[in-house]
Structure 1
Amino acid sequence: MQVRMHRIFDPIPIGRGVRQDDTLSSKLFTYLLEDIMKTVNWSERGVNVNGLYMSHLHFADDLVLVAETAADFQLMLNELHEASGRVGLRMNMAKIKIMTYKLRTPEGRIILCLVVIATAVTAYKNPHYAPGRSVNVHLFEWKWNDIADECERFLGPRGFGGIQISPPNENVVLWTYNRPWWERYQPMSYQLVTRSGDERQFADMVRRCNNAGVRIYVDAVINHMTGEPPENVGTAGNTAVFREWYYPAVPFRSEHFNWPHCVIDGSDYINNAWRVRNCELVGLKDLNQANEHTRNMIVDFMNKLIDLGVAGFRIDAAKHMWPHDLQVIYNRLRNLNTAHGFPANARPYIYQEVIDYGGEAISRDEYTPIGAVTEFKAGMELSNAFRGNNQLRWLSSWGPQWGLLAHSDSLTFIDNHDNERGHGGGGGVLTYKQPRPYKGAIAFLLAHPYGEPQIMSSFAFWDSEIGPPMDHSGNIISPAINSDGTCGNGWVCQHRWRQIFAMVAFRNVAGNTAVNNWWDNGGNQIAFCRGNNAFIAFNNDYWDLNQTLQTCLPAGRYCDVISGEKVGNTCRGKTVTVGNDGRAHINVGANDYDMMLAIHVGPESRL
């Protein structure tokens, strides 16, 4: 491509963007660039073109600054650097190029600078799913061997993009509390031995899942170690001297923790960010991530996992660590392992646990410049709507207009392992225990393009402390796979519910299309298309939805993937006939088993 900036200038060749196959980064860059350019004053800098000053151009994720003098260029570059930093962008100095072009007039010369900064914005926000896949499922407390089997027999064939696993490193064993789930969040060392399996089994799981097209994301507990539990042995057999802050298997000593030792008070969350980040979370010994040795141990642990083939990390308790310390750690991580199918120079996907409903001393916005963030508000708002406490029609503006994070910054979910139990952000969200509205909320989460969605896959519990199904020796009992494809042995396995895995396929077929042809009845009946690929309707009213609606789909017969699967050329659920004009009669009864109907052009739906 060649650009001629003025009739008297030589044409200037512009090469291809650095990531032409990335449809997101250029849009994100444009969005952030608009904010940056509002803060700089270049009205009389740049090149005078017919009385107007042109100071910059951008192509994909490259920014071109245009100046007539070196002095103007230097001022513009300095201002760009400062303005970028204020919105969380970092200029990639290694990729700056300065090029001079001789002009045909005696006025001087033009200096061009290509500044590639979009790479820094999105570096840790790409989950690196295999093509045609989406959705991260949290297989909470599953064993590594069982996860590998599930990748090959179900998740891979069904189009799932990735799995969040439970913490893989050694934790304290707490028989006093009958092996609760939260013992996994009290590290004794970074050795890869837990109830889920050892390092060999972990490596085998990652390899097999990557081969099945399913990525692995590690729940990384790097904020703290244990508290002072009544027992002192870890899942790898290591011990610690709790009252001396000594963990020899790492090793960590007292100087590697924050000092003075203090415990976070409830009021600190409102008015004291320093204590939230430097004191102990519920008495768990708080690591000092500014300490060089502490950083090195954490980086070594995470890099080992990258070498084994993981695609990224959930950063547990990120809110309790300083963003600049986390950034140092992230920047020391290796690129993803190309031997596991990742592209060259790919950075790990980072999504940080920051619980922020507003009104606190720490904001989620402090963490978006360095990675994605868990968007707890999404689950709260959708739970509220699908419970009937807010009308579904308002979801027409779903996304940042609801006070949610920007699309590329957000990891969205209805419930997670904490808040389904009333922990970590509190209760109030829908869970597997309210199946009808829960499935409706998840269906909307997956049908709408906003955010990077994650779904929960639980084990059944009646006590918020109880651990996974286990035998008398504390060994985790594997999920049984029933004849209908659901799970037994105490496992809920929401990812195997037809309504949920069908919506994963729906999302994959919808691809990058936008929401269009929104319809609602002014209350709790809504419907929308995803381009010309997919259509979904919801009914949360007390009366039937009976409408002829625009589906945006090609004429033909479709199987509603919510009410039943397509088997051969037969649909076990409702069928929908779309006319030549794209319209179809849609019926979702108020008393139907599910509150939604979904059809799409994929092989799972088209008859």
Structure 2
Amino acid sequence: MFPSHCYGSTYWGNKNSSGGSPWYTQGFAYQNWTWSGARPGMEFPAVPYGPLDFHCARPISSWNDGFILNYGWLVNLGDLNTESDYVRQRIADYITDLLSIGVSGIRIDAAKHISPEGLAYIFKKLANNMGGKLPDDFSAYLEVIIGGEKDLLMCNENWYNYGKSFDNYMKQAGLSDSDIYKIKIWSSDYPKEHPACGWWPISSERFVAQLDCHDDQNPGSSSRDMQDKGSVLIKERNVEKHRYFNRELFFRTDANWQIKLVLSSYSFIDSNGAQAPPDGHSDCARCVGSACSGCTKSVPYKKAHNPNVCGYTIYQNGQWQQGEYTRVHRDKEIIMEMRRWMGLSTSVSNAEIGLPNHC
């Protein structure tokens, strides 16, 4: 049987509840539930969300169609109905809760799969929750990957555009220019292809820039080849080149980005093909139980924070290290370039910037 509001939806195989309760997730099968005898549907009572708070199941079959981007289920994940005023309010209430415990900025993953209009009204509801405007220290960073869909997503004004059209939606929703300024878009075209449109469709202050990103850490990422415009550390394994392009991000003057990001990541394990971080969760030496005999793709545990090391600990004694944190954020040259950009003094001791004396 189909949920009453969905017809012609994709069939998904059975799925057990990840929350340990049959009431938390649907079975993804169009038949009555074994547990309740009711039709299948998305139910998350802690929010609460019910079946009508989600879009009907459909795959993302096009990356150049705003309707599919908004309504499709990204990698089979249930997709919230962000046209619903109730859903928008629940999301705004969640962000409000985060702000109440001291969070000042948020990143919205896969934001390009939420309609610009829906996002505009979510931020307006957040502003209403906060007394009518967004906090002075608030910032939002939307992951809108601008690739082959740049015309749809940024360059041509249309209903699914995160440039001027998104600005207009936010103004229509009642957000002030000051609040709109706080809502940033990831400049995923940096450094090789920016500005993606050949011009800045919105001010560069509204974009967030960084050299390499978490997606570049995937060996199959198509954005890993930056040619002579940048460098992905775990691909090229060239510290001097990577350090230079991170410094360049802070001293270049062709844009006025207000948020610039540095990525500290980790290396993979070449010898056994493991691709997990060295956080201990993929360390065969820590495995407990009968299944451990089959543990082969191991990443030995390494403590993430080490106050006694400098940046780029990925290289030790001239050798590239497997299963090691990169710690780019502890490189003194990058820190000094960042301080210059921020108008801070570079006449500081290592201790003042959290580094040991030998750095």
Give the TM-score taking structure 2 as reference length: 0.62
The AA in structure 2 aligned to 1:499 is: E
Give the match's secondary structure for 1:282: helix
Compute the displacement of 1:305 (Å). Answer: 0.5
Structure with bigger RCO (C-alpha 8 Å, 6+ apart): 1
- Find out whether 1:484 has 2:309 as its counterpart: yes
CA contact (8 A) 2:93 2:129 kept: no
Instruction: Give the gaps of 5 or more residues in structure 1.
Output: 1-226, 382-397, 512-532, 535-558, 574-607
Aligned residue type for 2:308 = S
Which among 221, 233, 257 is matched to residue 432 of structure 1? 233
Indicate how the Cα distance of structure 1 residues 352 and 480 shifts in structure 2: closer, same or farther if over 3 A, else same: closer
Aligned to 1:372: 184
Q: Secondary structure at the match of 1:300?
A: helix
Structure 2 counterpart of 1:251, from 34, 48, 60: 48
The answer on whether the counterparts of 1:256 and 1:288 sit within 8 Å (CA) in structure 2 is: yes
Superposition deviation, residue 477 in structure 1: 6.3
Q: For residues 477 and 337 of structure 1, what CA distance do their matches in structure 2 show?
A: 41
1:457 aligns to what SS in structure 2?
coil
Q: Is the 8 A contact 2:146 2:196 kept in 1?
A: no
Number of the residue aligned with 2:245 = 441
SS of the residue 2:146 aligns to: coil
Q: Is the aligned partner of 1:415 residue 2:215?
A: no
Gaps of 5+ in 2: 1-11, 29-40, 156-160, 171-182, 289-300, 315-322
Separation in 1 of the partners of 2:144 and 2:60?
16
Q: How does 1:500-515 map to 2 (within 5 A)?
A: 500-509=334-343
8 A contact 1:334–1:347 mirrored in 2: no
Q: 1:174-185 maps to which residues of 2 (within 5 A)?
A: none
- Secondary structure of 2:276's counterpart equals coil
Letter in 2 for 1:367: Y
1:2-59 per-residue CA deviation (whole Å, 9 max, x = no partner) reads xxxxxxxxxxxxxxxxxxxxxxxxxxxxxxxxxxxxxxxxxxxxxxxxxxxxxxxxxx
Identity fraction in percent:
19
Distance 1:423 1:301 in 2: 34
**In structure 2, do the counterparts of structure 1 residues 461 and 290 end up closer, same or farther at CA, with 3 Å as the change threshold?**
same
Deviation per CA, 1:551-575: give whole Å up to 9, x if none.
Answer: xxxxxxxx9x9xx9799xxxx99xx
Give 1:534-553 correspondences, 5 Å limit. none
SS across alignment from 2:262:
strand
Higher Rg of the two aligned structures: 1
> Is this contact kept in 1: 2:210–2:261, CA < 8 A?
yes
Equivalent residue, structure 1, for 2:280: 470
Q: Residue type of the partner of 1:364?
A: M
Please say if residues 335 and 347 of structure 1, whose CA atoms lie closer than 8 Å, have aligned partners that are also in contact.
no
Aligned length: 269
Q: CA deviation at 1:473?
A: 7.2
Aligned to 2:63: 269
Looking at structure 2, the residues matched to 229 and 493 of structure 1 have their Cα atoms a distance apart, in angstroms, of 42
Q: Does structure 1 retain, via aligned residues, the 8 Å contact 2:264–2:326? A: yes
* 1:306-348 deviation line (CA, Å, top 9, x unaligned): 111212221211111111111110011148989xxxx995273
Kindly state the Cα deviation for residue 484 of structure 1 after the two structures are TM-superposed: 3.4
Bigger share in strand: 1
Q: Secondary structure at the match of 1:363?
A: helix
Kindly indicate whether the alpha-carbon contact (under 8 Å) linking 1:306 and 1:337 is maintained by their aligned counterparts in 2: no
Structure 2 residue aligned with 1:291 = 84
- Check whether the contact 1:335–1:348 (CA below 8 A) recurs between aligned residues: no
Secondary structure, in 3 states, of the residue corresponding to 1:412?
strand
Could you tell me which residue of structure 1 aligns to residue 111 of structure 2?
Answer: 318
Q: Which residue, out of 212, 229, 233, partners 2:18?
A: 233
> Structure 1's 499 and 330: CA in aligned 2 closer, same or farther, altered over 3 A?
same
C-alpha distance after superposition, 1:76-101 (max 9, x if no partner): xxxxxxxxxxxxxxxxxxxxxxxxxx
